[in-house]
Structure 1
Amino acid sequence: MYFIKGDYIPLIRNEIYLYSIMMMAACGILVTLNSCFSNCAYQNICATVLYTLVLLLGMGLDALVGHNAFMFMGTVSRELDVSLKQAVRLYYGKNETLTKAVDFLQFEGACCGAFGFVDYPKKVYEDGDTFYANGSYRVKPKLQYIPDSCCWDYVVGCGKWDHPNNIYLHGCTPYFQNEVIFNLNMTLYLSALVLGIHIFELLLIFILCVFKPTDKAKHQKMTKVNGAKGHRDFLSI
């Protein structure tokens, strides 16, 4: 979600979710760095130990990301209800980051407001009311209270007409919840997959360490090979 629909992130007020994004990035960096010297780890005992420690650290971060995603799954609906409602009713038009996030959500989700277009209160007077000024009646200017991102066909200023054929009537909360829940499910699946890969790599390291020939065994093998070669050379003479 961070890379594909990163504009949604300001609407999610859960700090654990935001920290999980950072941990996923850190885990990816560790895996990349670890893969760079994986070949050296087989040839040097110090590199093997370092490779294993970094691998264990990556496993810990990955497991923590999966745990956080699972915990957030239980409260995501309630938290998104509150955060989206506050963003629309309290901060829209006042906070540039949240305004941009809400507009992006409404445009992508083909929706309006948290629970409907009624989240944007109409002005005190009705559009088209007349008032008396300077000796004559004049029509009050039509004011826009619904964002253009709520329109079926986006055009600058289209939100001035709040007709059902012009704006979306349903809210964005269900769409937003589905997007975040889908992202959490993908996070859980990826965490489980990466954790399984890490465990497989640990097993490979264990097998390589157990069956890797020692320096003494290599020396004995080379001695035997050199002895056999010298014996053949002597017989050929």
Structure 2
Amino acid sequence: MQDLLANIKIQVNPKTYVKDPETSDLGKKIIQNSILLIDEIGFEEFTFKKLGEKIGSNESSIYRYFENKHKLLVYLSSWYWAWIEYRLVFSTNNINDKFEKLKKAILIVTESIEDDSKTEHINEAVLNKIIIEEFTKTLYSKNVDEENKEGIFLIYKQINYRIEKMILDVNPDYPFAKSLVSSIIEGSLHQHFLKNHLKTITNCNENVNPSDFYIHLIENLLR
């Protein structure tokens, strides 16, 4: 799977950027270092001026790629979910058992992420930390309806649709497949957040991953 992923360009909606950062060394440098800087200081404190200082470039050069820092975060989130979708498709494609296929899909969208060395300028493990901490900021905004119409969240929704179909393949009579999928995906981010910061209100810890919880949930709910 890793070799296949290495030859695939992650596609992100052009509405998220002014100029595709994947088309230049500076663009890739912006992506690489924005991930590291957001992880270091948080999205609230992150600015294009600080990013420019980090990469040794003018602030104006970053605006040639992204309209504002919200659009940059949306781009990073879109890239992340597109990467997750590729992993989901390749990891489940040859699994014939419907329930095992669903369990594998749940694992893909809820597990702790390790860096993929095939993508040199993007550290997926650090990006995953940003998604856990900041992803809701891409959804809970005044522009969410407009951005949804532009297809900004299409990849994220496609993951939901794929897993919804797997749930219905396992149990066609289950009436809340859409709600279950969205609860699992966003809930797993929340459980990772709690595991990292508010440890006393989750059962997840160094030995129990959110994946364990959600696989246990579907085993008891759908069978």
Category of TM-score, reference length = shorter chain? under 0.3
Larger radius of gyration: 1
